[in-house]
């Protein structure tokens, strides 16, 4: 008897970190730091060298093994740790900001983020916001979005235990968030001098509200963070600041796609650098358009109003079911409601249920 099981090769983003240092352009090196998260085996720490020293992008998780890997990668590239003058954090997830505080403590490096980067769930923690910016960040459609709260679409609050693979405790989340206190906050289109030339901030909300890409017009490169990845799509939360998070993500995909052939190489946070950023951004958008159709089909097939967890089974495998899958499903369902294609019904059991209009 023969086993004909087909084993799929891992996605690029799942590949384990290696010690390899690769030159991508003048003053730009790619290194990889180890992480062990669902669907991810490394984070790319780009090294941008100039006459002052180096800037690093997304310095991994807040743990000693990651700090050791940072030092090891820099040593391999012939760069003393003391030469780090800047840390760029693409967004507020711990595999991206984790080493920022450690690097600042050891080198005095500046920590650069987008203006909306938050170290907590309170918009008041972001300094110097004007009235309109504060309103945009403060007016969450679902009120509090702390990860341990009951989800707005219905269901029980999470019970954090701190066990591996489970939601960390409130104290652990607070500890993680203390690892990145920005010293420089960039506005959209604001320039920053890196690798001896000007790069420009590109605000791309969607995966997070504060996601930052950086465009290098001299070499035609875009640091794309988690916004555009080579072979997977980033998580889109249904409890972001926007009333329609998926529409905001689509706008951000269109924004980077509009650079067209100005971008010759995209530098993602996970996976390999790739050409044709515009093509990949459009592919990701089409992927989500297909998911919207699957939700329409699910409601027609079931012939009744469906809850978010029920809709989620039509988008995600059984193995993937849970709070994150429900959150992304909620984002898709709310997009269909915002565009007038679905109606959301409240019910006595506390669950939202969705039906097609007409």
Per-residue model confidence as pLDDT tens digits over 163-213? 544 445 556 656 666 667 899 999 999 999 999 999 999 999 999 999 999
Grouping H, G, I as helix, E, B as strand and the rest as coil, residue 236 is coil
Q: State the Cα angle at 6 between 4 and 8, rounded to 5°.
A: 170
- For residue 271, tell me if it sits in a domain: yes
Of 229, 261, 285, the domain-final residue: 285
* φ and ψ at residue 96, rounded to 5 degrees: -115, -40
**Mean of the per-residue pLDDT values for the chain?**
89
CATH of the domain at 119: 3.60.15.10
Q: Do 272 and 305 fall within a single domain?
A: no
Q: Do 273 and 256 fall within a single domain?
A: yes
Q: What is the model's pLDDT at position 243? A: 87
What's the first-to-final CA gap in the chain, in angstroms?
Answer: 53
Chain centre distance of CA 318 = 23
CA distance 301 to 317: 18
Q: Which two tokens stand for residue 157?
A: 């609050």
- For residue 52, tell me if it sits in a domain: yes
- For residue 101, tell me if it sits in a domain: yes
CA distance 344 to 354: 5
Q: What share of the chain is helix, strand, coil (3-state, %, to 5)?
A: 30, 20, 45
Of 252, 267, 285, the domain-final residue: 285
Q: Do 278 and 328 fall within a single domain?
A: no
Q: What is the model's pLDDT at position 150? A: 85
Q: Do 59 and 139 fall within a single domain?
A: yes
Q: Do 117 and 162 fall within a single domain?
A: yes
What is the average pLDDT across 319-345?
96
Residue 237 vs residues 105, 147, 172, 234: alpha-carbon distances, Å: 32, 11, 21, 10
Could you tell me which of 219, 291, 208, 206 has the C-alpha nearest to residue 256?
Answer: 206
The count of domains in the chain is 2
Per-residue model confidence as pLDDT tens digits over 265-289? 999 999 999 999 999 999 999 999 9
CATH of the domain at 299: 1.10.10.10
Q: Do 93 and 229 fall within a single domain?
A: yes
Q: Do 194 and 333 fall within a single domain?
A: no
Q: Do 74 and 181 fall within a single domain?
A: yes
- For residue 4, tell me if it sits in a domain: no
Of 266, 285, 304, the domain-final residue: 285
Q: Do 238 and 273 fall within a single domain?
A: yes
The neighbouring-strand residues paired with 98 are none
Predicted confidence band of residue 242 (pLDDT cuts 50, 70, 90): confident
Q: Are 152 and 329 in contact (CB under 8 A)?
A: no
Q: Do 348 and 271 fall within a single domain?
A: no
- For residue 319, tell me if it sits in a domain: yes
Per-residue model confidence as pLDDT tens digits over 104-133? 999 999 999 999 998 655 554 555 666 566
Q: Do 178 and 213 fall within a single domain?
A: yes
Phi-psi region of 60 (alpha: psi -120 to 50; beta: other; left: phi over 0): left
- For residue 209, tell me if it sits in a domain: yes
- For residue 2, tell me if it sits in a domain: no
Q: Are 212 and 113 in contact (CB under 8 A)?
A: yes
Q: Residue 306 belongs to what H/E stretch?
A: strand 306-307
Domain that includes residue 305, residue range: 291-356
Q: Do 279 and 295 fall within a single domain?
A: no
- For residue 232, tell me if it sits in a domain: yes
């Amino acid at each position: 008897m023969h086993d004909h099981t087909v084993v799929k090769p891992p996605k690029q983003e799942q590949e384990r970190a290696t010690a390899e240092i690769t030159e991508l352009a003048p003053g730009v090196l790619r290194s990889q730091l180890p992480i062990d998260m669902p669907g991810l085996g490394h984070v790319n720490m780009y090294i941008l060298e100039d006459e002052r020293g180096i800037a690093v992008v997304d310095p991994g998780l807040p743990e000693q093994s990651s700090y050791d890997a940072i030092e090891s990668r820099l040593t391999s590239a012939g760069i003393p740790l003391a030469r780090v003058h800047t840390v760029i954090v693409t967004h507020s997830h711990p595999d991206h900001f984790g080493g920022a505080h450690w690097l600042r403590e050891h080198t005095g490096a500046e920590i650069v983020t987008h203006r909306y980067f938050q170290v907590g769930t309170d918009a008041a923690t972001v300094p110097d916001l004007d009235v309109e910016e504060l309103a945009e960040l403060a007016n969450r459609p679902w009120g509090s979005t702390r990860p341990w709260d009951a989800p707005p679409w219905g269901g029980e609050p999470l019970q954090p235990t701190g066990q591996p693979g489970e939601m960390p405790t409130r104290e652990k989340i607070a500890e993680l968030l203390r690892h990145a206190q920005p010293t420089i906050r960039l506005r959209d289109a604001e320039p920053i001098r890196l690798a001896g030339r000007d790069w420009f901030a590109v605000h791309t909300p969607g995966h997070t509200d504060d996601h930052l890409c950086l465009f290098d017009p001299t070499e035609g490169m875009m640091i794309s963070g988690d916004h555009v990845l080579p072979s997977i799509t980033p998580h889109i939360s249904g409890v972001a600041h926007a009333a329609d998070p998926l529409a905001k993500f689509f706008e951000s995909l269109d924004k980077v796609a509009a650079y067209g052939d100005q971008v010759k190489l995209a530098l993602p946070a996970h996976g390999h650098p790739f050409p044709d950023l515009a093509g990949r951004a459009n592919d990701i958008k089409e992927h989500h358009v297909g998911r919207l159709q699957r939700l329409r089909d699910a409601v027609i097939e079931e012939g009744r109003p469906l809850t978010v967890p029920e809709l989620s089974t039509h988008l995600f495998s059984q193995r993937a079911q849970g709070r994150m899958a429900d959150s992304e499903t909620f984002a898709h369902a709310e997009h269909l409601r915002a565009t007038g294609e679905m109606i959301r019904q409240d019910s006595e059991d506390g669950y939202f249920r969705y039906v097609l209009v007409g």
